[in-house]
Homo-oligomer: A and B are copies of this chain.
């Protein structure tokens, strides 16, 4: 029986990395099924993602991980290695609009988003999402005001920690995280921004787009950083609009872009396809 694993790594580029990694895997009964790499010539940094199968029952993921740690140390790698069947634990945060939540739940149910949803946090009460059957997923109503923000974020952080969340998805959560919380969630919090960044930052981007008379609108999924609207971009997409579209039409068309952009970003993140590269990302698409 074969068990699939994902290895991701990045380090300073130098000759022989691929040979060393591939040989190490081969010698430990790991068969490379797919491998992608990228040399960032600007920064001299090397990125790699390997999907491999452990072929014999004898082969132990733990032993492989242990021996690979030595290779990683030699090259100074940032790296992760995990069995594909180990589902990441995900908390979804949502506000009044539930179109992204709807899409995420649908794709999760269909098996397209291979994760375990360990919590839904909303700053609106449960009845706002009456159309949804959440089943076993814990729902936390954590309202927020300017005054209660510190307490609310502390509560959010407790949920994230208590549930052992690997990833937090801001599914149109509409609240700016504090620098503190953003830092705590670095590289494991994905936001959907309802604009084709850096086009229309700030509030009401669709209305800004309408005023400017652009012919395409878009959305951007990015990792959350303390610098609002400026985190590393994972995915973007656009849709054509025209003079007949009102701001409401833009909002409606925007919903479709937002949900597909966010779902793609989540799927790629879960599959170990997104590697942080400073203020940018490397995305190994299939």
Q: Which 5 pairs show the lowest CB-CB distances between chains A and B? A: A213-B280, A19-B26, A19-B22, A215-B236, A19-B23
Q: Is the CB of A242 within 8 A of B285?
A: yes
- For residue A131, CB closer than 8 A to chain B, the reply is yes
Nearest chain-B residue to A242 (Cβ)? B283
- For residue A199, CB closer than 8 A to chain B, the reply is yes
Nearest chain-B residue to A247 (Cβ)? B42
Other-chain residue from B19, B233, B238, B252 in contact with A238 (beta carbon distance below 8 A): B238
Interface residues of A in 119-155 (CB under 8 A from B): 130-133
- For residue A1, CB closer than 8 A to chain B, the reply is no
Q: Is the CB of A110 within 8 A of B106?
A: no
- For residue A18, CB closer than 8 A to chain B, the reply is yes
Nearest chain-B residue to A97 (Cβ)? B110
Interface residues of A in 14-49 (CB under 8 A from B): 15-16, 18-19, 22-23, 25-27, 31-41
- Report, as a range, how many residues of chain A touch the other chain: 35 or more
Q: Is the CB of A25 within 8 A of B19?
A: yes
Interface residues of A in 60-102 (CB under 8 A from B): 99, 102
Q: Is the CB of A213 within 8 A of B233?
A: yes
- For residue A272, CB closer than 8 A to chain B, the reply is no
Other-chain residue from B22, B282, B283 in contact with A22 (beta carbon distance below 8 A): B22
Nearest chain-B residue to A48 (Cβ)? B35
Q: Is the CB of A15 within 8 A of B36?
A: no
Other-chain residue from B25, B37, B38, B233 in contact with A215 (beta carbon distance below 8 A): B233
Q: Is the CB of A236 within 8 A of B214?
A: yes
Nearest chain-B residue to A105 (Cβ)? B131
Q: Is the CB of B283 within 8 A of A243?
A: yes
Distance in angstroms between the alpha carbons of A83 and B232 in the assembled complex? 36
- For residue A216, CB closer than 8 A to chain B, the reply is yes
With a CB–CB cut-off of 8 A, which chain B residues contact A132?
133
- For residue A4, CB closer than 8 A to chain B, the reply is no
With a CB–CB cut-off of 8 A, which chain B residues contact A199?
196, 198-199
- For residue A55, CB closer than 8 A to chain B, the reply is yes
In the complex, 5 of the A-B residue pairs with CB atoms within 8 angstroms, ordered by the A residue number, are A19-B22, A196-B199, A197-B212, A216-B218, A243-B281
- For residue A183, CB closer than 8 A to chain B, the reply is no
- For residue A175, CB closer than 8 A to chain B, the reply is no
Q: Is the CB of B213 within 8 A of A232?
A: yes
A110, A234, A237, A282 pick with most chain B CB within 10 angstroms: A110
**Given the interface contacts A23-B19, A35-B37, does A212 sit within 8 Å of B233 by beta carbon?**
yes
With a CB–CB cut-off of 8 A, which chain B residues contact A131?
109, 133
